[in-house]
Amino acid sequence: MKFTWKKGVILSAVSILAGSAILGNVLNDVHVDAVPTAINGIQDAVHETADQVLHASDQGTFSVGGMLMDTDGNVVYTQHNNVVTNDLVFDPTAHGERQMIDWYYENKESLDLPEPEKIILVTSLDPCAMCTGSILQAGFANVVVSANDTYAGINYDKSALFPSLSGTSMQADAQASFSYPAVLGSTAKFSREATGVPVSPIFGDNTAIEDQTYALTSTAFDATLNDVSNKINTDLPEDQLLDPKMLATTDPIYVALKAAYPHALEYTAPSPNNPDEGLAPYLIEAAEQDIANGGDGNAVALLDRFGNLIMVTAGNQAVSEIQTPFMLATRGYAKLRYNLQMDGVSNATQYLGHPKYNTFIYAKGPEINPQGLADFGAFGSTMEGAIPTDRTQFQYGVERATQAELDAFADGLPPFYSDDDSVNVHIKETANQDLIAALAAGLPTTIK
């Protein structure tokens, strides 16, 4: 039997609303008193995720939680959202589902975890695009969802048909694995009929969520949404940012940059947001490392608003299939900023601005597959709101999916990603043809 942690007290939805997003110190976020836990029915499963919802709310991050369980009904792992920690952005991709899937891949062999087709993921909130891509890449047997999310959720229209995935094999995969159980309630707001694929047979006849548990998962998220989104968007305006190339080599920001990526600040684009062929060697070097790390020879560069090279990342898919170059780039930049702020470097974000002012450049464009979906979603989670429209923050060099295919895919994503007044995720081919030619000539051709 696998192990999880003793359930905390599940507060009622009324208490969540009365307390708004703040639960004070009702819960201690340190997991203690490990005991075996088995799940008996859908209500029990969603109740377990609601416990994680409360931990997330107490931490001051998005109130979302989830768990992995095996098809014998044993809890394998629980986790909650960790986007915000200590009132700072810790990792914009640290949604519960993404973290659980990384944990699964990282520990599958050492802990002798079941194969994906014997794993069930239960989540308190409809997965976003990033988490949906991650889930579909993992190939779990069943995904059980409590609360709806009509803005960023993959089932935003509540049809369980997943029109955002139309024209791809991902649509059929989602339709065959995502379950939205019935909610037994006496009010229209907190009741629903079951949609999606029937839940796994392991839940027996207990296939519905009680309305109070469902209300908690829904209202707790709503209560924290605006507050946490605002925390992610408290950076200085662009005109107050300073060029890190002006830092002394002994400055802690400069030292941290070089520690994170030794080639940081060695290259500067001719103009912000417009890299040239001088960037190619850095991308090619990382793409070679990507192959060594189990990838297909891709890499992502991050330039700041001055055009300075901040970092270039390879993926690490030998460790986790969802650790793509882009995923590690956005996580790496967030970690750099977070650690500096936690170390008391008060001007860290004056030199390392909000990522919406930066430029991410792929060596090879994303494909329209689960990893590509996860990357599109991770870009949205990184921005967490409207971005400047006078530049292209998301670029690629060598084409894989055509530009028309990428545009159509982006236009069909849930409203958070596709609306003009939100992130409006679109990736575009870089304008510099010399950079494209240098990448096409120099990128490694070996694929996994």
Whether the predicted pLDDT of 23 surpasses 60: no
pLDDT (mean) for 347-352: 98
Q: Would the pLDDT of 448 be above 90? A: no
Residue 446's pLDDT is: 63
pLDDT exceeds 80 at position 36: no
Give the residue-averaged pLDDT of 326-347.
98
User: Residue 104: what pLDDT?
Assistant: 98
Beta 178-180 vs 195-196: how paired, if at all? antiparallel
pLDDT of residue 18: 32
The residue ranking higher by pLDDT, 225 or 368, is 368
Task: Say what the pTM is.
Answer: 0.92
Q: What is the pLDDT of residues 240-270, one digit of tens each?
A: 999 999 999 999 999 999 999 999 999 999 9
Q: How much is the pLDDT for 25?
A: 27
The full set of domains in the chain, from first to last, is: 42-233 (3.40.140.10), 238-442 (3.40.140.10)
